[in-house]
Amino acid sequence: MATSAAQAGMIGALAARFRSCPVTGLQIDLAAERLIKANAIAAVVFLAIGGVFGLLVALTRWPAVHLLSSDMFYLVLTAHGLDVLLLWIIFFEIAVLYFASAILLNSRLAAPRLGWVAFALMLIGGLLTNVAVLQGDSSVMFTSYVPMQASPNFYLGLILFAVGALIGCCIFLGTLVIAKDEQTYEGSIPLVTFGALTACIIAFFTLASGAVILIPTWLWSLGYISHIDTVMYKLVWWGMGHSSQQINVSAHVAIWYLIAAVTVGAKPLSEKVSRGAFLMYILFLQLASAHHMLVEPGLSSEWKVFNTSYAMYLAVLGSMIHGMTVPGAIEAAQRKNGYVNGAFEWLRKAPWNNPAFAGMFLSLVLFGFLGGISGVVLGTEQINIMMHNTLYVPGHFHATVVTGTTLAFMAVTYLVLPLIFQREVAFPKLARIQPYLFAIGAGGISLFMMGAGTLGVSRRHWDITFSDATLAFDYPAAAFLMLGLNGLFAILATVGGALYVIIAVWTILFGRRVTAENALAALGPMPPRLQVHTAVAEYGSAGTWHLPGTYILISVFFVSFVLYYFVNWKYLSELWPMG
């Protein structure tokens, strides 16, 4: 690769140094590799910090434990949101962007020095905001709704972080341009890279919205601006707050395809359909920022219905397509691998003891059933009246961001460690159970918070017994049970999360080096198959199409979706009439 680039006479390309990947044969730009490592490590550090905060939150919500004081609870809750929802996720996503561009396209990374500037900005910003929160005068929650005011450094940190991330996105786009110019690949970019591009595009809108609203808010906290409209703030803020979770969706769907490809040799059933589904994300997914504006005053029902439904649920269509094509591609590949009996031999004999595969499949199922269905129901204009700001909301987004995104990121880590860090995953037996522990824990958290929310329990609330309130009020007893169970499952999730952090850190520091001989084995157990490269010749042609298992899975999904959707309309019809 370096030779053809040199022929092109590119100075940057001359400077780039490569190594050859023993598994894929790809040329790996060492500068890109170092940046991927740095961003991934920063991500894991913030996951560890934010995870501890999360446990403290859950233990305080557990009525029998009620660990923290109210001030500390609100402080820790703010820090938890920031560290895991923003810092862990976006640092990891930047690593994914560099991986999906430079590595998968066999190219050098555009402007690696700028990559370090971006990294530094993100790190300084993240630390600045964390310090502001821990100092105690910025317990304003992740959303920081005006006119509640945090210290100026809270906003400044977020702005620096956003600028850094934006630079990272530009480097991704720059790398696409370089790879195309230097012809490091032929034809269209791989599907995984296309998914990363989708994430990158959504990130542009996200970070731009963040800048548009956080810069004036920062100036307001410094006293240069006297007033910020509260609804306007929310409208623009959620352009960042919700869209940033749409970056996650695009990134983790791309990772599903990636892991399925590496572990079982899965190939997209149809490039056209999968890319079309990503296009639906690019065009419409971000409209769902309106999910947070459904019971706000000042917006018309037309605006609410159109935006909350992603323009007639076209982005949901995209997700439902991925929800079929990912398991479908796995089934097709597994049938090629020789597991042809019955509807589910391909699934039973999937590499469940490979943490990358197990984490990916659990992420797929939990994201679809828990996160996807609850998200659409929660985002239905009228149904939102009985769910807005209840614990149902964090229940929903723990299903999407924790069991969906975080679990997918954990899963891909088990491939990144051998491929990029070139280390064998340490403690393989613990690694094997880690995704299951974390999935059960996080799934329980989501489910029980949604349960408590259905019973009306408020989110971001220190004392659901209202012991100090002038006018007492009691939530149903079942809600207390739900929050107790939430605490128990949070402990389980913490154990799973801690295992992940320990395995990752230990592997990086002390793991055995991967060599050409053990490189493939280091990726974990995989089904015996015709080699990765020769797996399948002609998907997309009708002849290869016999996927009964996938049809059964998506039928179960669809029936659950429809039933749960209409059950909630039934509940809604029992509310006091209002209009």
Residue 57 CA from chain centroid, whole number: 21
Query: CA 265 to CA 438: how far, in whole Å?
Result: 25
Closest separation between CB of residue 527 and other proteins, Å? 15
Q: Does 145 bind other proteins (CB under 8 A)?
A: yes
With the CA atoms of 82, 84, 90 and 91 taken in that order, what torsion angle do they form, in degrees rounded to the nearest 10?
Answer: 110
Rounded to whole angstroms, the maximal C-alpha distance in the chain is 78
DSSP state letter for 9: T
Tokens 């956080």 correspond to 214
The two beta strands, 27-29 and 18-20, are antiparallel
Q: Does 324 bind other proteins (CB under 8 A)?
A: yes
Using the rule CB under 8 A, which residue among 320, 364, 417, 522 binds other proteins?
320
Using the rule CB under 8 A, which residue among 8, 134, 222, 312 binds other proteins?
312
Using the rule CB under 8 A, which residue among 110, 160, 269, 410 binds other proteins?
269
Looking at residues 65 to 124 of the shown chain, list those that interact with other proteins (rule: CB under 8 A).
Answer: 70-71, 74, 104
Q: Does 209 bind other proteins (CB under 8 A)?
A: yes
Looking at residues 477 to 516 of the shown chain, list those that interact with other proteins (rule: CB under 8 A).
Answer: none
- Which one, of 236, 183, 238, lies nearest residue 212 by Cα? 236
Nearer to other proteins, 345 or 463 (CB): 463
Nearer to other proteins, 14 or 181 (CB): 181
Using the rule CB under 8 A, which residue among 204, 436, 506, 564 binds other proteins?
204
Closest separation between CB of residue 458 and other proteins, Å? 4
Using the rule CB under 8 A, which residue among 230, 430, 502, 519 binds other proteins?
230
Nearer to other proteins, 4 or 14 (CB): 4
Query: CA 389 to CA 459: how far, in whole Å?
Result: 6
Contacts of 95 (CB under 8 A, 6+ apart): 35, 36, 39, 40, 43, 416
| CB distance 393 to 456 below 8 Å | no
Closest separation between CB of residue 427 and other proteins, Å? 27
The CA-based angle 501-506-509, given to 5 degrees, is 125
Q: Does 344 bind other proteins (CB under 8 A)?
A: no
Q: Does 523 bind other proteins (CB under 8 A)?
A: no
Q: Does 534 bind other proteins (CB under 8 A)?
A: no
Closest separation between CB of residue 485 and other proteins, Å? 20
Nearer to other proteins, 59 or 442 (CB): 59
Per-residue x/- marks for other proteins, 154-173, CB under 8 A?
Answer: -------------------x
Using the rule CB under 8 A, which residue among 48, 59, 192, 412 binds other proteins?
192
Contacts of 505 (CB under 8 A, 6+ apart): 44
Using the rule CB under 8 A, which residue among 43, 547, 549, 553 binds other proteins?
547
Nearer to other proteins, 223 or 577 (CB): 577
Closest separation between CB of residue 204 and other proteins, Å? 6
Looking at residues 368 to 407 of the shown chain, list those that interact with other proteins (rule: CB under 8 A).
Answer: 376, 380-382, 385-390
| Bridge partners (DSSP) listed for residue 27 | 20
Q: Interacting stretch for other proteins, rule CB under 8 A, among 42-50, 54-62, 120-128, 304-312? A: 304-312
Q: Does 540 bind other proteins (CB under 8 A)?
A: yes
Tokens 């006091």 correspond to 576
Per-residue x/- marks for other proteins, 559-578, CB under 8 A?
Answer: --xx--x---x--xx-xxxx
Q: What is the DSSP string of 60-99?
A: HHSTTT--S-HHHHHHHHHHHIIIIIIIIHHHHHHHHHHI
Q: Interacting stretch for other proteins, rule CB under 8 A, among 201-209, 345-353, 496-504, 510-518? A: 201-209
Nearer to other proteins, 154 or 438 (CB): 154
| CB distance 431 to 500 below 8 Å | no
Using the rule CB under 8 A, which residue among 293, 356, 431, 450 binds other proteins?
293
* Alpha helices (H) in 25-69, listed in sequence order: 30-61
- The helix/strand/coil state of 18 is strand
How many residues form the binding site for other proteins (CB under 8 A)? 141
Locate 522 and state its tokens: 């280091």
- Which one, of 31, 182, 5, 23, lies nearest residue 99 by Cα? 31
Report the 10 Å Cβ neighbour count for 173: 16
Report the 10 Å Cβ neighbour count for 318: 26
